[in-house]
C-alpha cells in the first residue's frame, strides 16, 4: 500500500479548572477551528467528520449528534461513535482515509466533566452502571458509600499488580511526583514524594494524589493521505501503527493486575509499524496514568520495559524526561487532568507536537517515533494504541 495516513492539523482546548464560560459544543468548535487553522484548511475542505462521546457521562442520549455542527460536519458524510475513547476516532479516521485517500477527515472528541460533579457521585454511579447489570451491579450499587466504589475497584487491581511485581507505595508516589511536576515551569514547584504519600488514602494504595482528577477538554485532529498532505503547510506526522482491543467483560473472568487489552492492542500497532523492540525503537510515550500504578502497568504491557524491570525503571528514572524512554512528559492525566474519553486523543496531539518540535517547555529533543496509549477506565478492559512517526 503506497498511501499512508498523516496528521496534518491538531487543535486542543484544555484547562485544569472547569471551563465555565463555554459549552461543550463551543469547546469542540474552538478545537476544530484551531485544528483547521493549524492545517491551513477550511470547512469546505473536510471530506468527512468523526466524533466520539459517552452518553451517560454527558447525560445526553446520542450525545455524539449534538457536536456535529461543531466539527464542521453539516451536510458531510459523518461518522458518529458512542461509548468509545477519543483515540478510537483516530482509528476510524485512519480507515476512512485509507478507504478513500482523496479525503481530509476531522476526528474529534470533547468532555465537559464539570457539567457533572467531577470526581463526585455521578461518576461513581456511572461506574456501577457500566457493570453488567445482573451479577456485578447489585453488589456495586449496595456498597456503603458509592464515592468509594472507584477507588476500591482501582485498589483491587493495583494490589494484584503490586503483589506480582513487588512495587511499593513509594514507587507509585514516584510516578505521581514525576507527572505532577512536569508542568512546574508554569505552576511553580510541584509536590514531592512526602506530600503525595501524605495525601488522603482513598483505598490502599489509591490516594487523592495518585489518582487523576477529572478535567474539561476538547480535541480535534485532521487526517489526510500522504499525497494530500504534500500540498499542506505542516510537515506531516505519520500514523504508522494503530491497534485497539478489549478483554473479557466480566471482572471475575479477567486476570487481575495485568492489561491484556493494552498488550494485544500494542501487538497490532507494532506489527503494522514494523516495531520489534518497542523499548528501543520508541523515543517517547504518552500512556494512560489514570492511577499512578496504571502508568507502570501500561509500560509493562506496551513492552517499554520487562516485567522484572519495572521496579528498576522507577529507581533509575528511566521514564523521566531525561531518562532512557520519557513517559508522560506532558504531565499525563495525573499532571494535566483527565478528560475522560477525550484525553486519549489529546495524547495523540501531544505526540504530534513532540515530533514536530513544538512542545515548548515539554520538548524532548529528537523525537522520531512516539506512542500514544489510552485505556477505557474502570471497569472496562479496553485500550487503544497509536504509533506516530516523523518519517
Partner 1 sequence: MAKKKAVLSIDGEIQINYKWSVGKAGDRFFTELRDHKKIMGTKCRQCGRILVPPRIFCEECFVEDMEWVEVEPRGSLLTFGESYFSTDGKRLKEPWMLGIVRLKGSNGGLIHFIRESRPEDLKIGMPVEAVFKSKPEGNIMDILYFRPANN
Partner 2 sequence: MPKRVAIVGVGMQKYEFRKERTVEEMVFDVTRNALEDSHLSKDDIDSVVFGSAVDAFCGINNSDKVAIDASGGLLKPTMRNSTSGSTAISTPILGYTHVASGMHDLVMVICYEKMSENDSAQAVFNTVYDEAYVRPIGLNVPIQCGLEARAYLHKYGITERQMAKVSVKNRGNALSNPYAQLPMKLTVEDVLASPYLSWPVKLLDTSPVTDGARALILASEDVARELTDDPVWIKGVGRGADSVYFMGRKNKDLGRLDYAYLAAKQAYDMAGIRNPMAEIDYAEVYDPFTYKEMQHCEAMGLCPEGGAGRMIDEGISLKEGPLPVNASGGLQGEGNPIGAGMSRLCWCYLQAKGQAGACQVPKDVNNAVANGWGGMYQYNAVMVIGRD
Answer yes or no: are the C-beta atoms of 377 and 149 closer than 8 Å: no
Stretch that binds partner 2, among 125-133, 202-210, 233-241, 326-334 (CB under 8 A): 125-133
From partner 1, partner 2, none, which one binds at residue 140 (CB under 5 to 8 Å depending on kind)? Answer: partner 1
Which among 324, 345, 329, 332 is positioned nearest to 293, based on CA atoms? 332
Regarding 216 and contact with partner 2 (CB under 8 A), the answer is no
> Least Å distance between CB 205 and partner 1?
9
Of these, 37, 42, 117, 132, which contacts partner 2 (CB under 8 A)? Answer: 132
From partner 2, partner 1, none, which one binds at residue 77 (CB under 5 to 8 Å depending on kind)? Answer: partner 2
Minimum CB distance to partner 1 smaller for 74 or for 139: 139
Answer yes or no: are the C-beta atoms of 301 and 264 closer than 8 Å: no
From partner 2, partner 1, none, which one binds at residue 203 (CB under 5 to 8 Å depending on kind)? Answer: partner 1
> Least Å distance between CB 134 and partner 1?
5
String of contacts with partner 2 for each residue 352-391, x by CB under 8 A: ------------------------x---x-x---------
Regarding 315 and contact with partner 2 (CB under 8 A), the answer is no
Of these, 37, 42, 129, 255, which contacts partner 2 (CB under 8 A)? Answer: 129
Regarding 363 and contact with partner 1 (CB under 8 A), the answer is no
Helix 292-301 to helix 149-165 angle (10° resolution) is 50
Minimum CB distance to partner 1 smaller for 200 or for 231: 200
Minimum CB distance to partner 2 smaller for 260 or for 321: 260
Which among 275, 294, 278 is positioned nearest to 332, based on CA atoms? 294
Regarding 270 and contact with partner 2 (CB under 8 A), the answer is no
Answer yes or no: are the C-beta atoms of 209 and 180 closer than 8 Å: yes
Q: Kindly compute the dihedral angle of the four CA atoms of residues 336, 337, 339, 345, in this order, to the nearest 10 degrees.
A: 30
Of these, 33, 159, 164, 260, which contacts partner 2 (CB under 8 A)? Answer: 260
DSSP string, 51-74: EEE-HHHHT-TTGGGGGTGGGT-T
Q: Phi and psi at residue 366, in whole multiples of 5°?
A: 70, 45
Q: Which helix (H) or strand (E) holds 389?
A: strand 382-389
Cis peptide before 379 (omega within 30 of 0): yes
> Least Å distance between CB 112 and partner 1?
11
Of these, 12, 202, 314, 381, which contacts partner 1 (CB under 8 A)? Answer: 202
Separation CA 4–CA 375 (nearest Å): 26
Separation CA 381–CA 371 (nearest Å): 19
From partner 2, partner 1, none, which one binds at residue 377 (CB under 5 to 8 Å depending on kind)? Answer: none
What Rg, from alpha-carbon coordinates, does the chain have?
A: 20
Regarding 22 and contact with partner 2 (CB under 8 A), the answer is no
Q: Which of residues 209-238 bind partner 1 (CB under 8 A)?
A: none
Q: Which of residues 115-174 bind partner 1 (CB under 8 A)?
A: 115, 132-136, 138-140, 142-149, 151-160, 163
Per DSSP, the three-state class of 293 is helix
Separation CA 326–CA 351 (nearest Å): 12
Answer yes or no: are the C-beta atoms of 390 and 351 closer than 8 Å: no
DSSP 232: S
Of these, 193, 198, 230, 250, which contacts partner 1 (CB under 8 A)? Answer: 250
Instruction: Give, in order, the Cα–Cα distances in Å from 53 to each of 85, 97, 111, 272, 344.
Output: 7, 21, 8, 27, 12
At 186, list the grid cell.
Answer: 508554569
Regarding 23 and contact with partner 1 (CB under 8 A), the answer is yes
Applying CB under 8 A, which residues contact partner 2? Answer: 1, 48, 54-56, 59-62, 64-69, 73-84, 88, 91-92, 94-100, 126, 129-130, 132-134, 243-250, 253, 260-261, 264-265, 268, 376, 380, 382
Applying CB under 8 A, which residues contact partner 1? Answer: 19-23, 56, 59, 61, 115, 132-136, 138-140, 142-149, 151-160, 163, 201-204, 206, 248, 250-253, 256-257
Amino acid at each position: 500500500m503506497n498511501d499512508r495516513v498523516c496528521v496534518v492539523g491538531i487543535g486542543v482546548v484544555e484547562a485544569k479548572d472547569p471551563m465555565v464560560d463555554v459549552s461543550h459544543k463551543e469547546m469542540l468548535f474552538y478545537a476544530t477551528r484551531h485544528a483547521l487553522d493549524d492545517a491551513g484548511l477550511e470547512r469546505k475542505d473536510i471530506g468527512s467528520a468523526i466524533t466520539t462521546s459517552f452518553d451517560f457521562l454527558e447525560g445526553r442520549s446520542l450525545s455524539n449528534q449534538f457536536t456535529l455542527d461543531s466539527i464542521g460536519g453539516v451536510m458531510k458524510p459523518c461518522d458518529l461513535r458512542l461509548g468509545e475513547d477519543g483515540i478510537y476516532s483516530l482509528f476510524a479516521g485512519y480507515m476512512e482515509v485509507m478507504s478513500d485517500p482523496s479525503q481530509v477527515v476531522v476526528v474529534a472528541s470533547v468532555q465537559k466533566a464539570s457539567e457533572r460533579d467531577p470526581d463526585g457521585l455521578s461518576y461513581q454511579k456511572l461506574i456501577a452502571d457500566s457493570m453488567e447489570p445482573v451479577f456485578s451491579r447489585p453488589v456495586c450499587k449496595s456498597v456503603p458509600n458509592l464515592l468509594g466504589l472507584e477507588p476500591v475497584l482501582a485498589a483491587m487491581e493495583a494490589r494484584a499488580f503490586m503483589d506480582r511485581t513487588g512495587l511499593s507505595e513509594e514507587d507509585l508516589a514516584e510516578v505521581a511526583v514525576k507527572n505532577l511536576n512536569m508542568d512546574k515551569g508554569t505552576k511553580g514547584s510541584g509536590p514531592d514524594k512526602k506530600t503525595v504519600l501524605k495525601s488522603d488514602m482513598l483505598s490502599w494504595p489509591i490516594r487523592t494524589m495518585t489518582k487523576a482528577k477529572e478535567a474539561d477538554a476538547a480535541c480535534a485532529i485532521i487526517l489526510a493521505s500522504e499525497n494530500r498532505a504534500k500540498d499542506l503547510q505542516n510537515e506531516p506526522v505519520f500514523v504508522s501503527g494503530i491497534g485497539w482491543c478489549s478483554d473479557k467483560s466480566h471482572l471475575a473472568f479477567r486476570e487481575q493486575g495485568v492489561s491484556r487489552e493494552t498488550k494485544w492492542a500494542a501487538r497490532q500497532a507494532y506489527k503494522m509499524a514494523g516495531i520489534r523492540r518497542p523499548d528501543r525503537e520508541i523515543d517517547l510515550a504518552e500512556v494512560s496514568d489514570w492511577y499512578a500504578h496504571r502508568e507502570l502497568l501500561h509500560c509493562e504491557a506496551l513492552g517499554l520495559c520487562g516485567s522484572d524491570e519495572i521496579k528498576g525503571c522507577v529507581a533509575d528514572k528511566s521514564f523521566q524526561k531525561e531518562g532512557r524512554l520519557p513517559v508522560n512528559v506532558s504531565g499525563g492525566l495525573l499532571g494535566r487532568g483527565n478528560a475522560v474519553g477525550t484525553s486519549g486523543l489529546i495524547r495523540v496531539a501531544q505526540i504530534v507536537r513532540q515530533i514536530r518540535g513544538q512542545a515548548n517547555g515539554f520538548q524532548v529533543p529528537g523525537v522520531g517515533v512516539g506512542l500514544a496509549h489510552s485505556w477505557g477506565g474502570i471497569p472496562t478492559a479496553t485500550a487503544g494504541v497509536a504509533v506516530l512517526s516523523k518519517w
